[in-house]
């Protein structure tokens, strides 16, 4: 059992996280402060949520980049609707309206993919461009800072607070609970439901999944709807955390989220991926970003470092799988020769 865990992608990511933290902490002790931990988790919240929504799509063997555009449109559109009505009520309504729009936008992706049998990436690229364009030309092209009264203070609504020797009082934002709840749900959904098992079956071999009785179209529609739902939560959460609604929020972030999912062990070809791995992948990217800043390395190096690690994490499993296949083929040849000699 232990030997099996050690060979997993998740364990390798964990080792890199520990080693990187130890190295950076030895160079700059501020890295081990409670403020760094809370800041890293705070910066990871919306990435966790988006990555959890993207994970099932990747497991099914698809690459989607439209989730960031869905996050932008749902949050900005909901805000502009309420802004015109001078709404000052609960921010929960923002989430309800945003999630409703997100589900519809996710279903549009799913409909185009399943109805016309189009590649997921092609559809997502088209809707990514379309939704950002829709935001800019039909809803608004500038960030809006007019927040409802209920959102005042949300930025500093902490779950727990602590005193840090470097920055003074710091806190862990309450929205981490959103990410925790969604992560637990996705873990349960993929592991214990028939639809979750169908997601892995589709990624492993779609034809076999169909012959096994899985309703592939229905499963894909549900996963795209779920992706849209979570993208909307991420968009609204980020807007309240940053205290403004931006029509082009996350426009440069889809590959960061996809990289986190792949670093966590999800196979780009489908059939493999876990929630724990996704969490570790997001944390690794966030830690890398903070580590480079703390040791004085320019920000431009962040993507280079993430890219190198991504190459390693996609190459190692492929090499390992090829080696196992070669060993299996050799074993079959030996068995065949043994049978002939008998």
Which domains, from first to last, does the chain contain?
2-341 (1.10.3470)
Per-residue confidence (pLDDT) for residue 334, from 0 to 100: 56
For residue range 242-278, list pLDDT tens digits in order: 999 999 999 989 988 999 999 998 988 899 999 999 9
Q: Return the CA Rg of the chain.
A: 22
For residue range 270-314, list pLDDT tens digits in order: 999 999 999 999 999 999 888 887 777 776 777 787 788 778 777
Q: Which residues pair with 169 in a beta bridge?
A: 163
Chain centroid offset of residue 258 CA: 6
pTM of the model: 0.92
Per-residue confidence (pLDDT) for residue 260, from 0 to 100: 93
Per-residue confidence (pLDDT) for residue 11, from 0 to 100: 87
User: Using CA atoms, how far apart are residues 342 and 334, in angstroms rounded to an integer?
Assistant: 12
What separation in angstroms does the CA of 63 have from each of 56, 89, 180, 196, 266?
Answer: 10, 38, 24, 18, 11
């Amino acid at each position: 059992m232990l030997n099996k865990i050690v060979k997993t992608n998740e364990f390798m990511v964990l080792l890199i996280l520990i080693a990187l933290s130890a190295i950076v902490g030895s160079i700059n002790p501020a890295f081990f402060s409670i403020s760094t931990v809370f800041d890293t988790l705070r910066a990871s919240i919306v990435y966790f949520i988006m990555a959890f929504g993207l994970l099932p799509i990747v497991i099914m063997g698809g690459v989607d980049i439209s989730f960031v555009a869905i996050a932008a449109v749902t949050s900005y559109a909901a805000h502009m609707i309420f802004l015109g009505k001078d709404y000052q009520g609960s921010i929960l309504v923002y989430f309800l309206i945003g999630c409703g729009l997100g589900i519809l936008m996710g279903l549009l992706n799913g409909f185009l993919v399943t109805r016309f049998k189009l590649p997921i990436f092609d559809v997502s690229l088209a809707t990514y461009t379309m939704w950002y364009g829709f935001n800019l030309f039909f809803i608004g092209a500038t960030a809006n800072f007019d927040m409802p009264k209920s959102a005042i203070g949300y930025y500093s609504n902490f779950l727990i607070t602590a005193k840090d020797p470097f920055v003074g009082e710091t806190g862990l934002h309450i929205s981490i609970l959103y990410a925790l709840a969604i992560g637990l749900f996705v873990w349960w959904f993929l592991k214990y439901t028939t639809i979750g098992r169908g997601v892995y079956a589709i990624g492993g071999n779609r034809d076999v999944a169909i012959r096994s009785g899985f309703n592939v179209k229905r499963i894909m529609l549900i996963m795209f709807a779920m992706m849209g739902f979570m993208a909307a939560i991420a968009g609204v959460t980020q807007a309240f955390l940053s205290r403004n609604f931006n029509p082009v929020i996350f426009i440069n972030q889809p590959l960061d989220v996809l990289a986190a999912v792949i670093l966590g062990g999800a196979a780009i070809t489908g059939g493999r991926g876990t929630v724990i791995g996704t969490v570790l992948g997001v944390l690794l990217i966030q830690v890398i970003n903070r580590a480079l800043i703390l040791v004085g390395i320019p920000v431009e190096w962040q993507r280079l470092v993430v890219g190198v690690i991504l190459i390693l994490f996609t190459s190692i499993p492929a090499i390992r799988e090829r080696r196992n296949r070669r060993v299996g083929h050799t074993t079959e040849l030996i068995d065949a020769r043994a049978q002939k000699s008998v």
